[in-house]
Amino acid sequence: MKKLLALAAAAAVASFAALPASAGLVSVTVENVPAGTTPVANPIAVSTTGTVFENVIGSELNGAPPERRSPWEGTPEENTTGVYTSVQGGSSATYSTLSTTVLTLIWGSPDNGNRITFSDGTFVDGTTIVAALAGLIPPGQAGFGAVLVTIVLDSAVTGFTMRSNLDAFEFANVEVPLPGAALLLLSGVAGLGFASRRKKAL
């Protein structure tokens, strides 16, 4: 049984290692943040450059950099549970993932200086998000102009970098869902472990 578990784990690693050289964008969806959305802590960056505030609450708008504006501004969560990350101008935050084709986040006050670059070089910048804002009335339920963005790629990537070239890039509720195949594989490995434990108990 131990050998079977080791083989399954090795297969999992092999399937994630064999990634295509470059992903392509399937879709970038921009929509209003649903009213009553619960703030959730963002992943912690594996590396940063410049000034990055991770999982902070409330805004700092004193007229001098570094400033940050909460995507939850104007909501009951703004100064209580409204956690978010702020990447300041000229700064970046890099995140690693097991393997994913989907990234969702609340993008606060999008501007043309914001960019998300995936590990293979594919990117989505604020220009795309700003253009989509024209079709949203109101501009967003959380804060002023914050929107829910879903990015879908045609093949898996292992990480992404958030960068700002202007004032700041604020984001909340970053979620990286596992691909369906990975979920099936992990549940299968867990099932093998349960079967092994049950057999020992008998």
Tokens of 32: 């209003």
Q: Is residue 45 a part of any domain in this protein? A: yes
Establish whether the linkage from the previous residue to 138 is cis, with ω within 30° of 0: yes
Which structural domain range is residue 113 located in? 23-178
Q: Is residue 34 a part of any domain in this protein? A: yes
pLDDT number for residue 191 = 52
End-to-end CA distance of the chain: 15
CB-based contacts of 115, cutoff 8 Å, min separation 6: 123, 124, 125, 126, 162, 163, 164, 165, 169
CB 114, CB 146: distance < 8 Å? no
CB-based contacts of 38, cutoff 8 Å, min separation 6: 81
pLDDT number for residue 10 = 39
> How many whole angstroms from its chain centre is CA 137?
24
pLDDT digits (tens, 9 = 90+) for 21-64: 578 999 999 988 888 899 999 999 999 999 999 999 999 988 88
Number of domains in the chain: 1
- Which DSSP symbol is given to 80? T
Q: Is residue 32 a part of any domain in this protein? A: yes
Q: State the helix-helix crossing angle for 2-17 and 180-201, rounded to 10 degrees.
A: 170
Q: Is residue 2 a part of any domain in this protein? A: no
CB 158, CB 93: distance < 8 Å? no
SS3 content of the chain, % helix, strand, coil (to 5): 25, 40, 40
Query: Which of 3-7, 15-19, 137-141 is the most confident on average?
Result: 137-141
pLDDT digits (tens, 9 = 90+) for 140-190: 444 457 899 999 999 999 999 999 998 899 999 999 875 544 444 444 444
pTM of the model: 0.76
pLDDT number for residue 181 = 42
If DSSP codes are grouped into helix, strand and coil, which group holds residue 23? coil
